[in-house]
Structure 1
Amino acid sequence: MFSTTRPGSPNWIDLGTPDTDAAAEFYREVFGWQVRSAGPGAGGYGFFLLDGKMVGAVGPLTEEGATSSWTVHFHTSDADATAKAVEQAGGSVRMAPDDVFDQGRLAAFTDPTGAEFAVWQPGAHRGLEVVGAENSLLWTELYTPDAAKAGDFYRAVFGWNVQDAPIPGVSYGIVSAAGAGPDDGHGGIMQLPEENLAAGSGPEWHPYIAVADVDATLATAAGSGATVLIPADSAPGVGRLAMFLDPFGAQVAVITPDPS
């Protein structure tokens, strides 16, 4: 399992949504998450908690023209240096590095293929307190119209290792942080097929949440207002997976991994 403290690994996820209260209720129903306010000066931002430990966050939409989505944040020890690396590698800076009180330093970017992501330089707030456990982040995934360009970009910015996965008919790269072991992958880069692009799919990062029973979780999500994008299906050697849009359009995937 990946370490959130290793530079280049995911260390935070948060949801931007037009209705934080309704979104909080949805994720409570689906994953059992509770919400704790980040404080009176946090602009409505709150932490998703699982058994009292932080597994992500939720807040109102803040960028002009933004739509509901999850943002994956990657660990950096120097957000300013990462911003320079992003620009040098052909990406763009959506939000320049800035301090979030004493909690850490945040910056947001867009990669050269159009996918948005962020980095978190930990201060008092170290990031996710649980990963890999039931109802917490297990994996992150990039859908992109140009997997080769995306791979080159993230290698340049984070020093990632990208290894082709032997999946018939699919271009998929397994991603791990520099210095990580062979079993410490934290995500994947998937080339969007032409039919997906024609149907309106675009570049984006989304989280995979580990669950005990994908079929039951998908049924709960659909009953709570989600739209099923990919019905539950089994991938040999991986697990059982599904994907849905929450009631406000944010994309999230769920997985019951095969026993290792």
Structure 2
Amino acid sequence: MSLVSSNQPYGTPTWIELDVPATGLDRAREFYGALFGWDFTTADAANGFYTTCLLRDLPVAGLRQAATPAAPGLWCVYFATEDCDSTAKRVADAGGTVRLSPLDVPGLGRRALAEDPVGAHFGLWQGGTHPGCRLVNEPGTLVRNDLITANPEPARLFYADVFDFTLDGNQDLPESDFTFLRRPDGHEIGGVFGDPTATSTRWQTTFEVADTDATVASALAAGGSAGPVSDTPYGRMAEITDPLGNVFDLIARPAGTILA
């Protein structure tokens, strides 16, 4: 378990959010509640209702009522920054696109939405009273995010430029084009997976679970669909599509495995 009580270091994935249509909010709450044991609290926000997903009464994710998803078909990952405006400028200077200029989320922090040069969507979060996910790296919470793209080199250079990440190869997967992204302090925040068969570029969110096979069965029972379960050097994984068409991964890690 990792309890987060303050803002994460620059470039750390710090919040995840799923945009859903108004007609899908109840369905999303039903599905993710069954899958991860989340509870929910919903408040009226500036552009519709916002639902905070809770585990043991602590925020772990968000569901935003939105007609146009920030990251279509995916959970949107937000990277931590101490200065949202400055980081948004770095995004633009490095060849990315700022899709939503920095704005205040009253009482919580400051956010922006962006797209990298190869088409992946992501967010920036400058925490105020809300640092982001309060629990990570335990069942039912965020454990990592990886960029999947057929064009990895511009992506690697972009994220290194914007967030000062270092780039390291992966000896555990020598047959794959996989690059670790690390903060300047050496902490791994995710990776870039070069997949020539990828039909889109995306940040894909991975949730930790205690038992991948059992969680896949729960996802199917709750109306989702699942790809094959597979064993990797880091744990047992499966890709899930929720009833609204959003894709994410599950992983059950062996005890002591460090993934992020």
1:33 and 2:38 are equivalent in the alignment: yes
2:218 aligned residue (217, 220, 245): 220
Q: Tell me the residue number matched to 1:177.
A: 183
Q: Tell me the residue number matched to 2:244.
A: 248
CA RMSD of aligned residues (A): 1.9
1:101 and 2:98 are equivalent in the alignment: no
> Percent identity among equivalent residues?
34
1:83-139, CA deviations, whole angstroms, 9 ceiling, x for partnerless residues?
A: 111111110010000111131110000000000000100112111100111111111
1:209 and 2:211 are equivalent in the alignment: no
Letter in 1 for 2:204: H
1:61 and 2:61 are equivalent in the alignment: no
Letter in 1 for 2:59: M
Moved more, 215-224 or 23-32: 215-224
What is the rounded CA distance, in whole Å, between the counterparts of 2:208 and 2:64 in structure 1? 22
Q: Report the TM-score, using the length of structure 2 for normalisation.
A: 0.90
CA contact (8 A) 1:61 1:67 kept: no
Q: Tell me the residue number matched to 1:157.
A: 162
1:191 and 2:197 are equivalent in the alignment: no
Unaligned runs of 5+ in 2: none
Question: Paired residues, what number?
Answer: 250
CA contact (8 A) 2:19 2:70 kept: no
C-alpha deviation, 1:67, in angstroms: 3.7
C-alpha deviation, 1:147, in angstroms: 1.2
Unaligned runs of 5+ in 1: none
C-alpha deviation, 1:33, in angstroms: 0.8
**Secondary structure at the counterpart of residue 200 of structure 2:** coil
CA contact (8 A) 2:136 2:143 kept: yes
What is the rounded CA distance, in whole Å, between the counterparts of 2:153 and 2:45 in structure 1? 44
C-alpha deviation, 1:39, in angstroms: 4.2
CA contact (8 A) 2:148 2:193 kept: yes
CA contact (8 A) 2:151 2:196 kept: no
C-alpha deviation, 1:46, in angstroms: 1.0
Q: Tell me the residue number matched to 1:76.
A: 81
- Runs (4 or more) in structure 1 with deviation over 4 Å come to 1-4, 39-42
CA contact (8 A) 1:2 1:186 kept: no
What is the rounded CA distance, in whole Å, between the counterparts of 1:164 and 1:74 in structure 2? 22
Letter in 2 for 1:189: V
Moved more, 152-161 or 169-178: 169-178
C-alpha deviation, 1:40, in angstroms: 5.8
Q: Tell me the residue number matched to 2:228.
A: 231
Change (3 A) 1:88 1:157: same
What is the rounded CA distance, in whole Å, between the counterparts of 2:71 and 2:230 in structure 1? 31
C-alpha deviation, 1:259, in angstroms: 2.1
**Secondary structure at the counterpart of residue 49 of structure 2:** coil
**Secondary structure at the counterpart of residue 47 of structure 1:** strand
1:189-245, CA deviations, whole angstroms, 9 ceiling, x for partnerless residues?
A: 111223xx3xxx3111121111000011011112212122x3111112x11111111
